[in-house]
Amino acid sequence: MDIPDKYKVEHLFLLIGENPLPNYVAAKLLFKEGKKKTLYLIHTTGTSETAERLQEILESDIEVQLVSINDNDSDAHEIRKVISEELENIKLDNNEKIGLNYTGGTKAMSVHSYRSLFYQEQNSQYIKRSNIVLSYLDARRLEMCFDREDGESDRYKVTPEMLEVNLKTIFELHGWKFKSEPVYQPKLFEATKALTEFFQEKTWSDVWQNWCKEVFKYKDKNDNDREKRRKDKDIMILQFQPIRVEIYEGFNAIKNVINLEKEEPKNFLESIKNKGQFKKLEKLGKWLDGEWLEHYVLQQVINISEELSIHDQAASFHVSTTQNPKDNKFEFDVSFMRGYQLFAISCTTDSTKPLCKSKLFEAYIRAQQLGGSEARVALVCCVDVKTVDRLKTEITNVFNPDPESSKKDYRLEVFGREDLIDLSTKIKTWIKNVDKEAK
């Protein structure tokens, strides 16, 4: 159900906090169509850059005004003074409305802004404005909520059909950009399927990883030949060692997938480099040593995207800031969007609990920065069933205020070695559980 016109406005006040995503959602949903739209971004000194980014992203079809309260985010007098000055400049035509979405900003900003807009002074008395719409975005239920004096708030689920926010916008809202384009189409998917089956046996996966480390070695950093080092600084030098006999069966299965069963191992590497369109052996080495899992996971997401209203998905994010585009801020493995809700998946072929736990929490922190409280995070790894259960228990103990509670928390999920073969079904179940949790 769309948001009714009675709750849409021509003038909208937003409070800018640490995460600009709720502000973006409100700006996209709360304006009345076919009317002039004016947006007022109430910000402090500390959130001025966030407000400026929002202005740049939104101003193509909305008039955006930046309204600073300097460092007075808890000063009732200053907040009321600034908002009152803006209200005096607004000339409303018949039936036009003013809105305040108070999701962002500090609690003090919300309280004082609410009071400033809810009441107006008339004949030395404060009376309720008749043309005001007050709202907030419920992060847990993914609902836009409208305050009513005579009863409970009216709630409207923000569905993917109502609003689609793409991954690029999510990053731009935070002043981050892609150093290189993410992967939207997986490479060598049939090979990733064979590797997934191959990794069902821990012994084989361990030997494979050791083999990758032996085959692809970085050039010696102590090389004194500067010119040679300059040319080769981004190239992995191939130091081929025959793969151990006990895993040739699995190795051949991978070669068969890409029709290279007659190739010698060294030629196999060069052939797969060309077939997968890897520009350098370094890129191939990283792919064989674990990045293939990101491509496999991305394909699993694509397989269920239409059914579950996933409208944007990609892998291998290398992110920098707009101020320092050459510096690598952080990396993201796989992400997808449903409406304005971000799902992030961290991928590793590792099978040790400490590293897997570390990667999961790192992904959780990044996802919260980007997608706020609504973001959901999963880890795809190669631990066994018992370790998956231990990881889930430890996660529950961190995020659940009552560790003894039997209620499952789907903010974070873990998929292990035995989940890989039917991963798309596992991810689908997780998403449906997330939806149930939001009801």
Of the candidates 428, 423, 429, 425, the one whose C-alpha atom is nearest the C-alpha of residue 408 is 429
**Which H or E run includes 283?**
helix 281-286
pTM of the complete model: 0.88
- Beta-strand runs (E) in 69-129: 98-101, 119-122, 125-128
Could you give the dihedral angle defined by the CA atoms of residues 46, 52, 53 and 59, in that order, rounded to the nearest 10 degrees?
A: 150
State the pLDDT at residue 347.
97
Over residues 132-147, the mean pLDDT reads 96
State the pLDDT at residue 255.
57
Helix, strand, or coil here: 210?
helix
Where helices occur in 318-416 by DSSP H, the ranges are 353-371, 385-399
Q: Who has greater pLDDT, 98 or 151? A: 98
Q: How far apart are CA 114 and CA 117, in angstroms?
A: 5
Cβ contacts of residue 411 below 8 Å, gap of 6+? 364, 376, 377, 399
CATH numbers and ranges of domains, the chain: 5-158 (3.40.50.10770), 189-289 (no CATH), 293-437 (3.40.1350.10)
Over residues 391-418, the mean pLDDT reads 80
pLDDT of 302 strictly over 80? yes
Tokens of 296: 């496999």
Q: Which residues pair with 343 in a beta bridge?
A: 336, 376
Q: What is the pLDDT of residues 331-376, one digit of tens each?
A: 789 999 999 999 999 999 999 999 999 999 999 999 999 999 999 9
Q: Who has greater pLDDT, 412 or 250? A: 412
Q: Who has greater pLDDT, 405 or 259? A: 405
Q: Which residues pair with 18 in a beta bridge?
A: none
Q: Who has greater pLDDT, 174 or 242? A: 174
State the pLDDT at residue 310.
98
Q: Who has greater pLDDT, 258 or 10? A: 10
For the sheet containing 132-138, what is the strand order?
Answer: 63-68, 38-43, 11-15, 98-101, 132-138, 143-146, 154-157
pLDDT of 226 strictly over 50? no
- Sign of the Cα torsion 80, 81, 84, 85 reads negative
State the pLDDT at residue 217.
61
State the pLDDT at residue 227.
44
Q: What is the pLDDT of residues 78-87, one digit of tens each?
A: 998 999 899 9
pLDDT of 29 strictly over 60? yes
Q: How far apart are CA 225 and CA 76, in angstroms?
A: 66
Q: How far apart are CA 357 and CA 312, in angstroms?
A: 27
Confidence band of 236 (pLDDT split at 50, 70, 90): very low
State the pLDDT at residue 204.
81
Helix, strand, or coil here: 373?
helix
Confidence band of 120 (pLDDT split at 50, 70, 90): confident
Please answer whether residues 395 and 162 qualify as being in contact, where contact means their C-beta atoms are separated by less than 8 angstroms: no
